[in-house]
Structure 1
Amino acid sequence: MNMNEAIDLLKNKGYKTTGKRKDILTFFEQADGYRTAKDLIQHLESTYEGISFDTVYRNLHLYNELGILETTELNGEKHFRMKCTHHHHHHFICKDCGKTKEIDVCPMEEVTKRLANYDIEGHKFEIYGVCPACQTV
């Protein structure tokens, strides 16, 4: 999903597209991988002095609920990134820097064979580790 698609979705759902909301979208559109709420707050503080955690978390929750952002948990903390919508894939996620690498392999073909009588509603497949750049540090 790109920023224009996200703004259109917000408008279609009846939400205002304020400067803060656009700046949050810009942050995630430019981020290379998953980022935390703390990362976002540090980025926004230079423009919005004293921005509240509540404002940030409320918007992150809204974006996740609307399908603009996707989440994962790394090291016990929720991380966010712009949702990928161009094709079905999964991710390798670096536990150190949060960068992602697309993986086009999906285990669902085998899983659906083994769960033939089950109604599968969705899935999420992620691989965690350390990327080559973080291995050399």
Structure 2
Amino acid sequence: MTTRRTTRRPTRQQQAVADMLGQAGGFASAQAVHTRLREAGEAVGLATVYRTLQALAEAGEVDVLRTDEGEAVYRACEPGHHHHLVCRSCGRTVEVEGPAVERWTDRVAAEHGFTEVTHTLEIFGTCRTCATARPR
């Protein structure tokens, strides 16, 4: 017996969450997305925002990372495997490729007999703008 996979269209609220995240530009928490939606006059519950962001992350349509405080933040990203360089001050994010990281990951996994390995790499620092804005 074969099952047919159906693709459901997003609800108006789910589409509003995805659109707002796309407009955010950088990483944003579910709370921040919810606040922006309310400010824009969208009636979307916080639970819907959380569920939608989680579903988008599971589908690979958004990236998610944990802040130093442990909060999940989300960002609409380009498709394909990549890493992030994130400013601790302003949140500016640059997508970067890391061929050396990919080779290292493959080598370490093989040395230990692991297969089907995935990984994430987030690099945090201070961008040039924030670094030059600091008083000396």
Partner of 2:105: 111
- Provide the identity percentage: 25
2:49 partner SS: helix
Runs (5+) with no aligned partner, structure 2: 1-5
1:115–1:121 CA distance, 2 compared to 1 (3 A): closer
Shift of 1:120: 4.0
Extract unaligned runs of 5+ from structure 1: 1-11
Alignment of 1:73-84 (within 5 A): 73-76=66-69, 77-84=71-78
Which of 94, 99, 102 is the aligned partner of 2:95? 102
Task: Please say which structure displays the higher CA radius of gyration.
Answer: 2
CA distance in 2, matches of 1:74, 1:111: 23
Size of the alignment, in residue pairs? 123
Letter in 1 for 2:119: H
Matches within 5 A, 1:1-137: 12-14=6-8, 16-46=9-39, 47-48=41-42, 51-76=44-69, 77-85=71-79, 87-106=80-99, 107-116=101-110, 117-135=113-131, 136-137=133-134
Q: Is the 8 A contact 1:67 1:83 kept in 2?
A: no
Q: 2:84·2:96 contact (CA, 8 Å) conserved in 1?
A: yes
Once residues 81 and 63 of structure 2 are traced to their aligned partners in structure 1, the CA distance between those partners, rounded to angstroms, is 14
C-alpha separation in 2, matches of 1:115 and 1:22? 38
User: RMSD of the alignment, in Å?
Assistant: 2.1
| d(CA) in 1 for partners of 2:97, 2:61 | 21
Pick closer, same or farther for the CA change 1:38–1:123 going to 2, 3 Å.
same
Residue 101 of structure 1: CA displacement?
0.9
Q: What is the TM-score of this pair, normalised by structure 2?
A: 0.76
Distance (whole Å) between structure 2 residues aligned to residue 110 and residue 37 of structure 1:
33
Q: TM-score of the superposition, structure 1-length normalised? A: 0.75
